[in-house]
Chains A and B, each alone.
Chain A
Amino acid sequence: MSAATETAAPASSRFGTFALVFGICFAILYVVCDMAALPMFTYHPGTDRIDPGFAPARRDEGPAMYWYGWIATSALGASILGVLAALLPDKIRRKIPLALAWVVPVALLPVLIYSLKFYWRW
């Protein structure tokens, strides 16, 4: 195997594509789930109750937690998209920019800060 082939091959491996697309989509879907209130389930820590989808906090039962549900929704969506991307032909898979892995999280940072505007009280 030539040096050129050796260095080029892993860039287009199916796992590499899955991992790249999973990471990008997970980040985007997580932010969407957070801002659009799309948890797969809601956990009520006061009573250990789990409700499917979004459920508001119940009176006298403490707060509701959506974070676990957002992670589940994002992981499922990103896994599906990652697998689909891994099934693409090699020629297309090679065209996915590797830099998206770090550019997307950095670009999402101001969006996340904005989504938390409720807390930035002066």
Chain B
Amino acid sequence: MDFVLDYISVNTFWTILSITHALLAVALLGALTHQAAAVLAPPRARAAGGFVTHFRSVSGPKYAAAVCVLWVIAFIFGGWIYTKYRIYVRIPIEQEGFWKTLGSFELKEHLTTIGLGLLPFYWHLWKNARNAAYDSARKWLTIVLAAICWYAFLTGHVVNNVRGFGS
């Protein structure tokens, strides 16, 4: 990747990676939230409804592959950025003594990694969306992944506020 640095600065390069990671997270958060709403409170009929009804009326199976791909790519970007975070972000935060912020971020890493390992089964459950035996596992696994994604997103946002772009 060094050839890229002939055209842009090192800071610009890592900023682009970080923003891409954030944008992927936004897309993933949207997809998983729609899907979780659809399994948690499925609309009773296809009759016209308001915003909430439309929000939860998405076709869950159509989101599954996108969720898996977005999670994996966002994870790869996060893992890549993590090398720089460890030196240029975490150490200054340690020096400032923001321990709970660091702990929350560590928990985010753990949870997103566990979520990564659950993706093959999540995909399998949605691929067989017509199998009634999977309904409960599919519903709760989707909700767990959505909760992990929300936690990761908010924690990442907080860490970025503490020491992110431009710091």
Cα-based distance from A27 to B23 in the complex (angstroms): 26
Chain B interface category by residue count: 35 or more
Asked if B58 is an interface residue, CB under 8 A from chain A, the answer is no
Question: Are B79 and A30 in touch, CB under 8 angstroms?
Answer: no
Question: Are A27 and B118 in touch, CB under 8 angstroms?
Answer: yes
Question: Are B91 and A63 in touch, CB under 8 angstroms?
Answer: yes
Interface residues of B in 54-104 (CB under 8 A from A): 79, 82-84, 86-87, 90-91, 99-100, 102-104
Size of interface on A: residues with Cβ below 8 Å to B: 46
Chain A interface mostly = helix
Cα-based distance from A35 to B67 in the complex (angstroms): 29
Question: Are B114 and A27 in touch, CB under 8 angstroms?
Answer: yes
Chain B interface mostly = helix
Asked if A26 is an interface residue, CB under 8 A from chain B, the answer is yes
- Whole-angstrom distance between the Cβ of B82 and the nearest chain A Cβ: 7
Question: Are B117 and A116 in touch, CB under 8 angstroms?
Answer: no
Question: Are A11 and B103 in touch, CB under 8 angstroms?
Answer: no
Of the 9-residue stretches B7-15, B42-50, B126-134, B152-160, which lies at the interface with chain A? B126-134
Question: Are B110 and A30 in touch, CB under 8 angstroms?
Answer: yes
Question: Are A65 and B83 in touch, CB under 8 angstroms?
Answer: yes
Question: Which residues of B are in contact with A by a Cβ distance under 8 Å?
Answer: 79, 82-84, 86-87, 90-91, 99-100, 102-104, 106-107, 109-111, 113-115, 117-125, 128, 130-134, 136-137, 140-141, 143-144, 148
Question: Which residues of A are in contact with B by a Cβ distance under 8 Å?
Answer: 6-8, 10-11, 13, 15-16, 18-20, 22-23, 26-27, 30-31, 34, 43, 45-46, 62-63, 65, 67-68, 70-71, 74-75, 78, 98-99, 101-102, 105-106, 108-109, 112-113, 116, 118-121
Known: A23-B117, A26-B118. 15 other contacts (CB 8 A): A10-B131, A15-B124, A16-B128, A19-B123, A22-B117, A23-B119, A23-B121, A27-B117, A30-B113, A74-B113, A101-B141, A102-B143, A102-B144, A116-B103, A119-B102
